[in-house]
Amino acid sequence: MSIQRVMVVLVAFFHGLTAFALPSSTTSQALDSRSSMEPRAGADPNLTGYLGAFFLGADPFVYFYLSNGNDAISFKALNKGSPVVKPTKGTKGVRDPAIVSGGGAEAGKKWYIIGTDLNIGSTTWDAAQRTGSRGIFIWESTDLVTWTGERLVTVEDVTAGMVWAPEAIWDSGKGAYMVFWASKFYPSSDSSHKGSPSNTQIRYAYTSDFKTFSAPQTYIDKSPTDIIDLTILTLQDGSLLRFMKDESRKTVFVEASESGLFGNWTRAGGTLAIIQSGVEGPAAYLDNKAPGRVHLLLDFYGSDGYRPFESTNPGSNGGWTASSRTNFPSNLRHGSVLPINQTCYDALVKKWG
């Protein structure tokens, strides 16, 4: 993160404090009046495309998709539709690939792909949640084109039944990456995990190198509700949105915070407000051209995978509309999308196009 960006985030943060006590119905107006005093959200002339990383239903590997020009909902497969990354360790299958942008000294210099160690073709959904992998897959890159350094690092306690859908965000306050995932837990007396587990929670740990991680702790516990598939988006004004799946009701919803990762998260519309039901694996990204527009991919896991949605009031659960699917490939499953510049776009075409 550049000094300028840190300052924008700090200004937005203190700005956010003054708007903090507004009822949620006025939040969008508050955001609008703030953005007129600051760089307009989401429109960065240096960003001219999007890189998507996904897995495909029957194929638990990392597939790259590149936008057609600077169109946020039009994508084509790279590498002729073959995987760009295939794991050799653990279950030899990776789901839910997330591209993590470097922060601090690694900003603009380092990227990571992290993902779930799960090949469902060689296990069952029940076993995968009792004695599944407690590690996360990690690859790294200095250009987003070449990916190396595969590792599988255990992040969870022995009482955990699985570690699902890891993602990470640079926490500038901590000067480290906050990594988060979903786990459920068995009593320590039930070491073979045959009994009843806890609800599924979002857990987290910190790392500065994706090699060693702090001891895991609980981040989101909506007991008795099961929560999976958390993703966090930083808006250009520095406020945060977190999208997640209610695994009990099979819905995706969003919460907003103007006071940081461990701040006051509120769910616009109330505790049962949702964006969509029958979906999972939310992936959110800012539009490169349209100020304030956010795109959200929702995985229709019982049907044809990701479909794009969009909103200019992204902290609202009710403000999302379906985007055109004319140029959006079908059967892409839970992954992530990263806005990229032209240098990166051209390098990806050269290597994988």
Ligand X SMILES: *[C@@H]1O[C@H](CO)[C@@H](O)[C@H](O)[C@H]1NC(C)=O
Residues forming contacts to ligand X in the complex (CB under 6 A) are 21, 24, 44, 46, 108, 143-144, 264, 266, 341, 343-344
Q: Which is nearer to ligand X, 44 or 171 (CB)?
A: 44
Least separation in angstroms between residue 237's CB and ligand X is 15
Least separation in angstroms between residue 76's CB and ligand X is 18
Least separation in angstroms between residue 144's CB and ligand X is 5
Least separation in angstroms between residue 243's CB and ligand X is 18
Least separation in angstroms between residue 22's CB and ligand X is 6
Residue by residue, what is the 3-state secondary structure of 124-163? CHHHHHHCCCCEEEEEEECCCCCCEEEEEEECCCCCECCC
Question: Do the Cβ atoms of 310 and 13 come closer than 8 Å?
Answer: no
Rg (CA), the chain: 19
Least separation in angstroms between residue 120's CB and ligand X is 32
- H-run or E-run covering 164: strand 164-171
> What length is written for the chain?
353
Which residue reads 């050799």 in tokens?
88
Least separation in angstroms between residue 221's CB and ligand X is 18
Torsion angles phi and psi, residue 41, rounded to 5: -65, 135
Question: Do the Cβ atoms of 162 and 123 come closer than 8 Å?
Answer: no
Q: Which is nearer to ligand X, 221 or 346 (CB)?
A: 346
Q: Which is nearer to ligand X, 41 or 275 (CB)?
A: 41
Q: Which is nearer to ligand X, 70 or 198 (CB)?
A: 70
Q: Which is nearer to ligand X, 277 or 343 (CB)?
A: 343
Least separation in angstroms between residue 27's CB and ligand X is 7
What six digits make up the tokens of 344?
């990166």
Residue nearest to ligand X (CB): 344
Q: Which is nearer to ligand X, 202 or 348 (CB)?
A: 348
Instruction: List Cα–Cα distances, 120 to 133, 146, 213, 246, 339, in angstroms.
Output: 12, 27, 26, 21, 30
Q: Which is nearer to ligand X, 127 or 290 (CB)?
A: 290
Burial pattern 312-338, b for ≥16 Cβ within 10 A else e, equals bbbbbbebbeebeeeebbeebbbbbbb
Torsion angles phi and psi, residue 121, rounded to 5: -65, -20
Instruction: Tell me the C-alpha distance between 174 and 178, whole Å.
Output: 9
Q: Which is nearer to ligand X, 1 or 152 (CB)?
A: 1
